[in-house]
Amino acid sequence: MLSAVFLSGAASVSAQQASTVLLSAEDSDPNRLGWMQGFPPAPERVIGQPDSNYFSFPKMRWTVCHFRELLPTKQVSRGLGAPVPFSYALDDAINDVTFTPIDGSEPMTWQASLNENYTDGLLILHQGQVVYETYSGCLDEAGKHGAMSVTKSMTGLLGEILVAEGALDEQALVGDILPELADSAFGSATVKQLLEMTTGLAYSEDYSDPNAEIWAYNAAASPLPKPDDYTGPRTYYEYLATVEPEGEHGQVFGYKTINTDALGWVIARTAGESVTSLLSSRIWQRMGAEQDGYFTVDSIGTPFAGGGLSAGLRDMARIGQLVLNEGVMNGERLFPAAAVERIRQGGDRQAFAAAGYRYLPGGSYRGMWWSLHNEHGAFAARGVHGQTIYIDPTAEMVIVRFASHPVAGNAANDPTSLPAYQAVAEYLMEQSATP
């Protein structure tokens, strides 16, 4: 089965492998490598079905812009109206901003960091205006890119909106909202524990372990026909009902995608709409989006709430600005400010510390967003290959990045990303302080 793609890049390069030589961003550029060019493409340049390797590096650098060509998907409609364009105040000098990578000694320029992180698209908003925008690899301004776990923050935002509006009680037990999950590990967890990923679940995402639960999850999640002898769960819902408890709820942060899938189900049951539909009606149709987004789905059309979103870079920037603005976009309030206030406030820092994220010391997780708890109060949505929506309220800055870093894990790109974002934030604050 080829369902590794649904998650965080099982077929990608591990950090250990990455210490060997990898193709650079330039050398792995999908246009340069010629994937899927020609009619038909040369056989060795085809990325298609069935192909269990379509999410392996360097093919993955093409695939991240083309999930819908490989898998069934569900639309996040932007509606039918006119998009609301951004205003622009481009500043090329950002390319020359320098920073020192974490664990490094040599300074690096912002521009050099783009290829270092296999950036496919990056846009910076400052005080609501676009000050920087670039595209590379498989992406252009009219393209869409896999957001991977940035999707979780969209699902989490919807959850926090429902909580802030009183439609969803964060202290309610998941098993009371979803009787189907009453006997699973989720049954005794609260909605708040889902939103903070402090559930106690017997679930491993260790791809190097053939007995890890991730593989059963993958098989259940695939929308493609199952093998004839397959007897396991056939949908996200069926899989979630099989999850066993491990440890206590509410003690330790454990980054497990299935929390978001369970939250997606809670949202659908509560709102009477799927995550795709609610994301469209509450946000996408009302923020002036340029493009529809879409989610991959399972065999019964359930959107992959934990990682299935693909969207345009500018529309991800609109989401970032909407969140920075605490729910206001183009002069209209789309949801209560409290939804974002809760996210900004962050989650349980002790529970988070126990998980040992080296590059996020003092951080926390709430509403499926990562809080840095740095001096600027920055918080972020983060995807496994370097995708991000990074929001710095102090600098009034939003950075959105799509990337296809060969290493599946932000530890590979954080050292040249987080200090770069901070450096640009400081640069922009200086600029606006100068009359």
Contact residues toward a second copy (CB under 8 A) are: 36, 39-41, 46, 48-50, 66, 68-75, 77, 79-83, 141-142, 223-226, 235, 237, 265, 268-269, 274, 290-292, 294, 297, 299-302
Find the shortest distance in angstroms from Cβ 22 to a second copy.
Answer: 26
CB closer to a second copy, 275 vs 343: 275
Find the shortest distance in angstroms from Cβ 278 to a second copy.
Answer: 11
Find the shortest distance in angstroms from Cβ 170 to a second copy.
Answer: 20
Find the shortest distance in angstroms from Cβ 51 to a second copy.
Answer: 9
CB closer to a second copy, 100 vs 281: 281
CB closer to a second copy, 72 vs 245: 72
CB closer to a second copy, 23 vs 46: 46
CA nearest neighbour of 360 among 333, 345, 344, 379: 379
CB closer to a second copy, 289 vs 329: 289
CB closer to a second copy, 321 vs 416: 321
Find the shortest distance in angstroms from Cβ 408 to a second copy.
Answer: 23
Find the shortest distance in angstroms from Cβ 39 to a second copy.
Answer: 4
